[in-house]
């Protein structure tokens, strides 16, 4: 893997690209990543996919909870759905923050 030192674009391949697809920098602006850096990026790709899936699942929980609140069958149901709504938002925001941390550390 190679990283553009100008914009941070990551390129997978035996050699750096002639030109960065993101910013147009030339091949000499690319830095070869170490095996350790490559391993972190590879792990992070999968972890970020899992975080995105978690966010999507929490969106489903939000829709279910909102429908349950709207139906308004009884106080116990409302408490359950409101709690689900609250927790889904928290989990979704935690997952987003973790992905942002990965990107900031170059693990994406």
pLDDT digits (tens, 9 = 90+) for 18-55: 999 999 999 999 999 999 999 988 888 899 999 999 99
Structural domains of the chain, count: 2
For residue 108, pLDDT over 70 is answered with no
Domain check: are 16 and 65 in the same one?
no
Instruction: Using a cut of 0.75, tell me whether the model's pTM lies above it.
Output: no
Domain check: are 51 and 22 in the same one?
no
Domain check: are 18 and 70 in the same one?
no
Instruction: Find tokens 């693990």 and name the residue.
Output: 107
What one-character DSSP code corresponds to residue 19?
B
Beta pairing, strands 2-4 & 10-11: antiparallel
Which tokens hold the place of 4?
A: 């553009």
Domain check: are 18 and 41 in the same one?
no
Q: Which domain holds residue 20?
A: 1-33
Residue 84 is inside which H or E element, if any?
helix 75-104
Domain check: are 28 and 41 in the same one?
no
Q: What is the CATH number of the domain that holds 25?
A: 2.20.28.10
Domain check: are 65 and 20 in the same one?
no
Domain check: are 25 and 63 in the same one?
no
């Amino acid at each position: 893997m190679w990283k553009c030192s100008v914009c941070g674009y990551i390129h997978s391949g035996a050699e750096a690209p002639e030109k960065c697809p993101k910013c147009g920098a030339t091949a000499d602006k690319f830095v070869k990543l170490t095996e350790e850096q490559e391993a972190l990026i590879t792990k992070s790709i999968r972890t970020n996919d899992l975080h995105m899936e978690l966010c999507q699942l929490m969106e489903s929980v939000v829709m279910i909870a909102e429908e349950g609140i709207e139906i308004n069958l009884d106080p116990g149901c409302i408490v359950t759905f409101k709690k689900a709504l609250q927790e889904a938002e928290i989990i979704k925001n935690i997952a987003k923050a973790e992905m942002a941390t990965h990107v900031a550390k170059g693990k994406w």
